[in-house]
A and B are shown apart, each in its own frame.
Chain A
């Protein structure tokens, strides 16, 4: 075969590929959601004179074509592989992978964001806690970067500065450091979260700080979930990663508790079977991101009550704290304004724990 023929065949393959991608782009039915990215995909935009003349149609159409492009996830994988291997870039869209662990490069510390979150903490304190007979505790959940970034040459938050800032802005709360209770292995490979079956040490550190009896490992059984777990970074990294197994910590106490959702006014178990099929499997812990829940423990050994201001890390930790409390109320001030809390909660004689993750504090989410 002469060179010209080889070139002609190659050019033909290129044109066929181009035409095929074009044809599928034009005629394939649009998809509703992206499983890998956990989000709805953009649909064909509204077409009228206003959207055309303002340029809105064109902008929305671009988003639509990107979202609906054929083999979108495969193309994202090609990009990630090229980015890491050919260009030797150390992160892809801010996600990096070391020793199989995918993590988000959260950097630098956003002082204003942390101060804003502490402003919300202080609002809660001034409105409800200052003159109540509550005991207040504070901690910050370190993200995976705490154990992964520095050793591997990646950028990360200045955790010492963040913890110090949190402490200085909440002098009314007793600080508990939990960073030394954790290790990299306590987090999922493909997700931002810690593994519930690995955080008993954290639970006991906090229980000790609150003068509550420790949780005994023998009381718990870790039961695997049937569905494979694909964490949030699995989709974001777009690189070949193995799914994981998620475990739920069961005990007589946990299984005997009921959870009341003040928003939906529904009562469910701690691990709601209805959430087993949820897109985000981590939502199995106390129904995922909910603004206000109360867990009632009929088998409690004390009359003590616990109030936790928390994110999803707190949702997976809370079941391990249950045995010492008659009731545990979980509040997420990302979804409910502190001003409304007085309508639902009577602040008196509780243990109060503020525990948000470093990622949430740094991302202007509170």
Chain B
């Protein structure tokens, strides 16, 4: 089920809110678990059983790690949980990619599994893994209530597109959380901000992206519009989803970590990744990069560690070679930035921001291509190497039609709107404006949903 859908906004959410706040505290997690499973089954009726099995397996692994008398025993159960999660990802996400690559390289014809990718599998397996690792390390206590653990893994606000919430971050709130009108009001406000980002900005750019792909009159300008529109689309889509998840979490008394911090304002690629999908970056840092030795190793080993982490980051986003190359591209820029730091530090901020935006844009062109041929064609198109005209009648039309949306996107990707909001927060005008904008947001977003068709989230399949 999508947050940005009528069934969610006017059927599921009201139902879960009514029941959640009606039942006594000890039943609240059960309500969350039940509705989260319904939420998941709505999109994946058959794979809900896979999710229930995963919850049970990791719950028992956690118990086993806690009960194991020796370090060796703990390690064994941790290994079991790691193998389970990797096996899940290997079978459902990477098997066909691996088989296809072998077939292409060796000319074999090993049949593909052709299994549908369970929604959110990359998110919930990573959450489960973080739980067993943290229990093994002694950073988290064993969860002995399977309802609470199930609610943590399947919690619908962040189930299918993050942020990746670590068990330690919500362990206390799982069993002892409080609810307040203030949290509910702030949560709903955050949810509506995310809904607007998704429906009014990201989905509008999605239309332009489709127009570009279907166009028979592409031009250099159109390629640039496409690349910039995709940057804005993916940012508003994903950060909008995170806003909705964080907002809903707050309504239910959870305080999830932030996932985005105006990444397009970054002055280096390193900074970009500290601002973009922060929960994934910190997950790889804490559970892969640092265990590999991090940067406190010899230079060659550090290069190896960096390449491994970024190859895995690429693969996490999708089982295809363009995602691997996309990840490695960042690894290369991160290494160059580390080695060239004294020079980069002397470059003016504006130029550094332009450099980040250009690298990120080219990266996303690669990310969004169906294969390398299309990626190469898109990059060539950007630089006029595709035998397409500089501009066409069609490009001009869409430039005019989307000009305001591009401006909204550019401004919205900076902290200016937030800063204005903060300044107005304690004024009378701000007190009037806020509810008016929230009501307008609900009405306009609903209007788009009623008028529009199905528009899935980009990060649904990761």
**Cβ of A238 < 8 Å from any Cβ of B?**
yes
**Cβ of A10 < 8 Å from any Cβ of B?**
yes
Contact A53 B451 (CB under 8 A): no
**Cβ of A35 < 8 Å from any Cβ of B?**
no
Chain A stretch 39-72: residues in CB contact (< 8 A) with chain B: 52-55, 58, 61-62, 65-66, 69, 72
Residues of A within 8 A of B430 (CB): 3
Residues of B within 8 A of A91 (CB): 401
Q: Mark A75-89, 1 if CB is under 8 A from B, else 0.
A: 111111010001111
Residues of A within 8 A of B442 (CB): 14, 17-18
Q: Which candidate, A19-27, A190-198, A272-280, A326-334, is the interface stretch facing chain B? A: A19-27
Q: Chain A nearest CB: distance from B47 CB in Å? A: 11
| Cβ-neighbour of B446 out of A21, A80, A155 (below 8 A) | A21
Chain B stretch 214-234: residues in CB contact (< 8 A) with chain A: 216-217
Contact B14 A75 (CB under 8 A): no
| Cβ-neighbour of A22 out of B14, B396, B450 (below 8 A) | B14
Q: How large is the interface on A (under 10, 10 to 19, 20 to 34, 35 or more residues)?
A: 35 or more
Q: Mark B294-334, 1 if CB is under 8 A from A, else 0.
A: 00000000000000000000000000000000000000000
| Cβ-neighbour of A82 out of B1, B401, B432, B447 (below 8 A) | B447
Residues of B within 8 A of A153 (CB): 396-397, 400
* Nearest-neighbor residue (CB-CB) of A89 within chain B: B401
Q: Which candidate, B25-33, B166-174, B433-441, is the interface stretch facing chain A? A: B433-441
Contact B397 A75 (CB under 8 A): no
Contact A9 B216 (CB under 8 A): no
Contact A10 B450 (CB under 8 A): no
**Cβ of B336 < 8 Å from any Cβ of A?**
no
Contact B14 A19 (CB under 8 A): yes
**Cβ of A266 < 8 Å from any Cβ of B?**
no
Please classify the interface of chain A as helix (H, G, I), strand (E, B), loop, or mixed, using the class held by over half of its residues.
helix
Contact B449 A58 (CB under 8 A): no
**Cβ of B34 < 8 Å from any Cβ of A?**
no
For the complex, give the distance between the alpha carbons of A285 and B66 in Å.
Answer: 81
For the complex, give the distance between the alpha carbons of A87 and B406 in Å.
Answer: 10
Residues of B within 8 A of A55 (CB): 43, 45
**Cβ of B46 < 8 Å from any Cβ of A?**
yes
| Cβ-neighbour of A79 out of B10, B426, B438, B448 (below 8 A) | B448
Contact B188 A14 (CB under 8 A): yes
Contact B45 A66 (CB under 8 A): no
* Nearest-neighbor residue (CB-CB) of A68 within chain B: B6
Q: Chain A nearest CB: distance from B187 CB in Å? A: 11
Known A53-B45, A54-B45, A65-B11; contact A75-B447, beta-carbon cutoff 8 A: yes
**Cβ of B175 < 8 Å from any Cβ of A?**
no
For the complex, give the distance between the alpha carbons of A61 and B204 in Å.
Answer: 24
Chain A stretch 227-253: residues in CB contact (< 8 A) with chain B: 238
**Cβ of A108 < 8 Å from any Cβ of B?**
yes
* Nearest-neighbor residue (CB-CB) of B402 within chain A: A89
**Cβ of B83 < 8 Å from any Cβ of A?**
no
Q: Chain B nearest CB: distance from A69 CB in Å? A: 5
Residues of B within 8 A of A75 (CB): 443, 446-447, 450-451
Contact B10 A238 (CB under 8 A): no
Known A69-B450, A153-B400; contact A11-B188, beta-carbon cutoff 8 A: yes
Contact A79 B439 (CB under 8 A): no
Residues of B within 8 A of A10 (CB): 431-432, 434-436, 438-439
* Nearest-neighbor residue (CB-CB) of A21 within chain B: B10
Known A61-B7, A90-B401, A153-B397; contact A11-B451, beta-carbon cutoff 8 A: no
**Cβ of B404 < 8 Å from any Cβ of A?**
yes
**Cβ of A265 < 8 Å from any Cβ of B?**
no
Using a CB–CB cutoff of 8 Å, the interface residues on chain A facing chain B are 3-4, 6-7, 9-11, 13-14, 17-19, 21-22, 25-26, 52-55, 58, 61-62, 65-66, 69, 72, 75-80, 82, 86-91, 93, 107-108, 153-155, 238
Query: Other than the known A62-B7, A65-B6, A153-B400, what 9 A-B pairs have Cβ atoms closer than 8 Å?
Result: A6-B431, A53-B46, A58-B45, A76-B447, A78-B443, A78-B447, A82-B444, A89-B405, A91-B401
